[in-house]
Structure 1
Amino acid sequence: MKEPRSRASARIGQLVRDLRHQSTISRKKLADRADMDVSHLARIEAGQGNPTIHTILQLATALDVEPEVFVRGLTADDLPEGVRPYSEAEILRELRRRDGGTSRSA
Structure 2
Amino acid sequence: MSAFHSEAAHVLGARIREARNQRSLTLEDLGALAGVHWTNIGKIERGQVHPSVETLVRLASAMDADPKVFVTGLTADMYPRPRHKLTANDLIREREERSRRRDAD
TM over 0.5: yes
Tell me how far 1:80 sits from its aligned partner.
2.8
Partner of 2:71: 71
Partner of 2:98: 103
Tell me how far 1:57 sits from its aligned partner.
0.6
* More helix per residue: 2
Partner Cα distance (1:74, 1:36) in 2: 23
> For 1:59-88, what per-residue CA distance to the aligned partner results, in whole angstroms no more than 9, with x for missing partners?
110111101112111111011344667422
Q: Return 5+ residue gaps in structure 1 as ranges.
A: 97-101
TM-score between the two structures when normalised by the length of structure 1: 0.80
Partner of 1:56: 56
TM-score between the two structures when normalised by the length of structure 2: 0.81
Q: Which moved more, 1:72-81 or 1:4-13?
A: 72-81
* TM superposition outliers: structure 1 runs of 4+ over 3 Å: 81-86
Partner of 2:2: 2
> For 1:33-75, what per-residue CA distance to the aligned partner results, in whole angstroms no more than 9, with x for missing partners?
1111111111001101120010011011011110111211111
Partner Cα distance (1:33, 1:27) in 2: 10
Question: Cα gap change, 1:5/1:66 in structure 2, threshold over 3 Å: closer, same or farther?
Answer: same
Partner of 2:23: 23
Partner of 2:87: 87
Structure with greater Cα Rg: 2
Calculate the aligned-residue CA RMSD, in Å.
Answer: 2.4
Residue pairs, 1:11-50, within 5 angstroms: 11-50=11-50
Partner Cα distance (1:103, 1:66) in 2: 44
- Please say if residues 76 and 85 of structure 1, whose CA atoms lie closer than 8 Å, have aligned partners that are also in contact: no
Question: Cα gap change, 1:86/1:70 in structure 2, threshold over 3 Å: closer, same or farther?
Answer: farther
